[in-house]
């Protein structure tokens, strides 16, 4: 009876230990590269700036905000491009991400066919952010801001997916930005959306 009671408990504890250890490794890996840049701070400045610009009634002041934002967007894109180039050098055994919807320790090793390479996903995000910053589609400023925000939030979702799981990433996005994963995919540029879906299967 004791064995029947403690065996499932031991399995649960072991599962949680392995999951936590794997997640710590991923957080440390990604965080180590991101810490060399000011991407998170620039993201915050850009997205908050969009809200100020869109809420500003004075046209002259609004134009000033858009002008400042263009500089911040360019710097953000530049830094993310450099981060993507650095992260591309990570050994591929450390960058595989499980497509399972939940966290399962070492799923990328156990089910290698159900994975994608985070290095490739970061490259997709880098291209999407650059295209939005340069406004290659010649969108009105309001639409450009909407697309750039979606590109940035989807990239943030990918980082949480890499470190935790797809389910956790989606829950955090819903809680912080009241936006679903599906809404983010629908809101990025067509080029990002196609490449993202092809790689992740989402």
pLDDT tens, per residue, the chain with 202 residues = 455 555 565 555 554 555 667 888 999 999 999 999 999 999 999 999 999 999 888 888 989 999 999 999 999 999 999 999 999 999 988 999 999 877 666 767 777 788 999 999 999 999 999 999 999 999 999 999 999 999 999 999 999 999 999 999 999 999 999 999 999 999 999 999 999 999 999 8
* Verdict on whether the full-model pTM lies above 0.85: yes
Q: What are the extents of the domains in the chain?
A: 2-200
CB 92 within 8 A of CB 117: yes
Q: Name the residue with tokens 């609004």.
A: 62
3-state class (DSSP) for residue 9: helix
CA atoms within 13 A on the CB side of 177: 19
Q: Which residues pair with 19 in a beta bridge?
A: none
CB 167 within 8 A of CB 101: yes
What angle, rounded to 10 degrees, do the helices at 141-163 and 166-177 form? 140
Q: Name the residue with tokens 């809680």.
A: 175
């Amino acid at each position: 009876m004791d064995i029947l009671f403690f065996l499932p408990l031991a399995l649960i504890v072991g599962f949680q230990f392995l999951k936590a250890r794997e997640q710590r490794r991923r957080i440390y890996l990604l965080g180590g590269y991101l810490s060399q840049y000011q991407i998170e701070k620039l993201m915050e400045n850009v997205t908050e700036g969009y809200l100020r610009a869109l809420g500003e009634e004075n046209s002259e002041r609004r134009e000033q905000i858009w002008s400042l934002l263009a500089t911040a967007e360019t710097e953000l894109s530049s830094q993310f491009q450099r981060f993507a180039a650095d992260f591309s050098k990570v050994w591929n055994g450390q960058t595989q991400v499980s497509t399972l919807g939940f966290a399962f320790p070492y799923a990328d090793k156990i089910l290698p066919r159900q994975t994608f390479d985070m290095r490739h996903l970061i490259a997709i995000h880098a291209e999407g952010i650059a295209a939005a910053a340069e406004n290659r589609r010649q969108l009105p400023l309001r639409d450009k801001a909407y697309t750039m925000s979606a590109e940035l939030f989807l990239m943030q979702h990918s980082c949480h997916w890499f470190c935790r799981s797809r389910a956790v990433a989606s829950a955090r996005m819903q809680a912080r930005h009241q936006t679903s994963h599906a809404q983010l995919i629908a809101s990025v540029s067509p080029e990002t959306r196609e490449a993202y879906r092809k790689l992740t299967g989402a």
